[in-house]
């Protein structure tokens, strides 16, 4: 994809420097990199973007190790490790996630320290600064929402007199995130079709819509647990509607095509507003691949031509039951669903043998994650354990559902129905040229505020399962531990077994936040630990 050719050159500018090194050593001198030309800054920006695709972020740790076990999805390995909330301050994945995010902050700061003092034209300077500001803010958002109070570093220049940096209260960190994103929103380009001089035509680059949509997400988080600042619902609605009313985005009429495009290395920036770039097959120099699809998830098969997958990630019976059944279906033992997402997200088959033969899977508790399907990948040969498929950070469906959620919290559901119903109509195939069930009614109506709130939560599960959002949603809705514990009772009464609820068994109040890594606490004596660790 369009940014990939720059990644191989990142080392020319940043070498082996990382935020880890910066935090782990006592500096005696520091030389700011000599960024002068647009090309210099573009290469430096590639280093900031590169964190997104790191194995310790979206490449593996975030979607799998830290988010795979909720009430709608689980890993079938049966292992007693971080995937089921068994971790402490010395856990490698928790530590690596922290370090990756701070590396991204450090690389962004390298740019922000010098860009204003260059001779670049204003347009280039704005685009560079806007992306660096936003990415730094996004990395801080991920840090504060997962670790709570955190140290803030707003310059890449270390001070030998300030090695012990205390944790900044969450509210202040969120305020910084918002401030940086608001500034970035004025500086970055719009997507293709916009009115700015230059436009963004691929999802791997930050656009104004991406900044606006993530601002809506940040404000929704601030309105929920733990800040509980309900005034932020108005801000969330404003920024979600800024994306919607721009006219630059729309739903892909075919839900499955959203994910087939990731496999085929195609962009659809109308739907997929911001995505993580993955590419390559572990052969050659230019590559950044994901373990989440392949080694971990996907439809289980050993067929290299189809694309091998461990099939370790399954949907729960609860997720399966959230999709509306077609009462007229004669399929057995599981009826068909009006909702076309069900049999895409939860694969109704596996592959047996080599070459793989499609074999039906009628166990609603053991259906593999089918959202990303390696059979559509165009890279050849396919690697045995990794995938080049991009991962969505922000889709237009999220814009609509965030608008619906914020509108309901502010004013009730009357004006929120159009947003959620647009997502549901796509899900039921009603946006397709030839709907499979043209007379089915996908629209919601007549719900109370509380009923609509639950409808939003269920819709987000159906739409965004396996996209690393369920745990964070449950936390911001304020009853993460209670919801996970209630799920145990439901699951065991509805066909589930102990292996399906391992994560829920281990969850406690401490898991609302991740632990501050032991290694960093040993270096920064001003750090304190989160409760329960």
Per-residue pLDDT at 27: 40
Average pLDDT over residues 325-337: 96
Choose the weakest-confidence range: 28-37, 499-508, 509-518: 28-37
**Which residue ranges form the domains of the chain, and what is each CATH number?**
1-188+479-533 (1.25.40.390)
CB 311 within 8 A of CB 298: yes
**Residue pLDDT, tens place only, 400-430:** 999 999 999 999 999 999 999 999 999 999 9
Asked whether the predicted pLDDT for residue 115 surpasses 60, the reply is: yes
Q: Residue 436 and residue 253: Cα distance in Å, rounded? A: 13
Phi-psi region for residue 441, left (φ > 0), alpha (ψ -120 to 50) or beta?
beta
Q: Residue 449 and residue 446: Cα distance in Å, rounded? A: 10
* Alpha-helix residue ranges (DSSP H) falling in 53-169: 92-112, 122-147
Q: Residue 382 and residue 378: Cα distance in Å, rounded? A: 8
Average pLDDT over residues 18-32: 41
Average pLDDT over residues 173-181: 98
Q: What percent of the chain has pLDDT over 90?
A: 87
Asked whether the predicted pLDDT for residue 286 surpasses 70, the reply is: no
| pLDDT category of residue 281 using cuts at 50, 70 and 90 | confident
- Average pLDDT score, the chain: 92
| pLDDT category of residue 157 using cuts at 50, 70 and 90 | confident
Asked whether the predicted pLDDT for residue 137 surpasses 70, the reply is: yes
**Residue pLDDT, tens place only, 80-103:** 999 999 999 999 999 999 999 999
| pLDDT category of residue 20 using cuts at 50, 70 and 90 | very low
Kindly give, in sequence order, each residue whose CB lies less than 8 Å from that of residue 1, ignoring residues fewer than 6 positions away: 202, 204, 265, 267, 277, 279, 390
User: Whole-prediction pTM value?
Assistant: 0.93
Tell how strand 391-395 and strand 272-276 pair up.
antiparallel
Cis peptide before 207 (omega within 30 of 0): no
345: tokens are 């997200």
Choose the weakest-confidence range: 116-120, 153-157, 373-377: 153-157
Per-residue pLDDT at 197: 76
**Residue pLDDT, tens place only, 432-486:** 999 999 999 999 999 999 999 999 999 999 999 999 999 999 999 999 999 999 9
Q: Residue 431 and residue 425: Cα distance in Å, rounded? A: 6
| pLDDT category of residue 23 using cuts at 50, 70 and 90 | very low
Cis peptide before 355 (omega within 30 of 0): yes
Q: What percent of the chain has pLDDT over 70?
A: 92
**Residue pLDDT, tens place only, 194-248:** 887 789 999 999 999 999 999 999 999 999 999 999 999 999 999 999 999 999 9
């Amino acid at each position: 994809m369009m940014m990939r050719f720059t990644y191989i050159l990142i080392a020319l500018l940043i070498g082996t420097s990382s935020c880890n090194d910066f935090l782990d050593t006592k500096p005696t001198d520091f030389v700011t990199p000599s960024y002068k030309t647009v090309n210099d800054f573009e290469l430096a920006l590639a280093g900031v973007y590169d964190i997104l695709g790191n194995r310790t972020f979206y490449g593996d740790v975030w979607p799998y190790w830290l988010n795979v076990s909720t009430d709608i999805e689980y890993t079938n390995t049966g292992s007693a490790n971080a995937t089921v909330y068994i971790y402490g301050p010395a856990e490698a994945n928790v530590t690596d996630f922290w370090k990756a995010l701070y590396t991204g902050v450090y690389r962004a700061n390298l740019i922000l320290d010098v860009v204003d003092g260059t001779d670049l034209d204003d347009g280039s300077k704005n685009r560079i600064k806007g992306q660096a500001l936003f990415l730094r803010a996004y990395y801080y958002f991920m840090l504060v929402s997962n670790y709570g109070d955190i140290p803030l570093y707003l310059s890449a220049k270390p001070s030998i007199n300030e090695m012990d940096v205390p944790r900044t209260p969450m509210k202040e960190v969120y305020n910084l995130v918002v401030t940086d994103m608001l500034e970035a929103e004025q500086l970055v380009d719009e997507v293709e079709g916009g009115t700015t001089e230059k436009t963004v035509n691929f999802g791997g680059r930050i656009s104004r819509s991406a900044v606006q949509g993530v601002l809506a997400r940040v404000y929704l988080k601030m309105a929920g647990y733990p800040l509980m600042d309900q005034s932020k619902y108005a801000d969330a609605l404003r920024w979600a509607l800024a994306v919607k009313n721009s006219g630059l985005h729309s739903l892909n009429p075919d839900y499955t095509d959203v994910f087939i495009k990731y496999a085929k290395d195609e962009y659809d920036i109308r739907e997929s507003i911001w995505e993580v770039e993955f590419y390559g097959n572990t052969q050659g120099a230019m590559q950044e691949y994901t373990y989440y699809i392949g080694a971990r998830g996907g439809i289980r098969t050993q067929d290299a031509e189809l694309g091998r997958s461990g099939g370790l990630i399954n949907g729960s019976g609860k997720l399966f039951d959230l999709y509306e059944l077609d009462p007229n279906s004669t399929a057995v033992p599981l009826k068909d669903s009006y909702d076309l997402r069900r049999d895409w997200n939860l694969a109704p088959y596996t592959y047996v043998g080599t070459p793989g033969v499609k074999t039906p899977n009628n166990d609603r508790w053991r259906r593999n994650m089918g959202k990303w399907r390696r059979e559509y990948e165009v890279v050849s040969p396919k690697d045995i354990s990794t995938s080049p498929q991009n991962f969505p950070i922000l889709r237009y469906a999220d814009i609509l559902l965030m608008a619906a959620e914020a509108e309901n919290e502010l004013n009730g559901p009357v004006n929120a129905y159009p947003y959620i119903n647009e997502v549901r109509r796509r899900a039921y195939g009603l946006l397709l040229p030839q709907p499979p069930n043209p007379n089915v009614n996908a629209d919601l109506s007549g719900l109370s505020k509380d009923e609509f709130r639950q409808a939003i939560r269920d819709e987000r599960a159906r739409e965004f399962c396996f996209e690393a959002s369920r745990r964070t949603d449950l936390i911001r809705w304020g009853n993460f531990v209670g919801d996970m514990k209630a799920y145990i009772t439901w699951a065991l009464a509805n066909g589930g077994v102990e292996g399906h609820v391992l994560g829920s068994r281990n969850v406690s109040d401490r898991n609302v936040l991740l632990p501050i890594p032991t290694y960093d606490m040993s270096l920064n004596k001003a750090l304190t630990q989160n409760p329960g660790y």
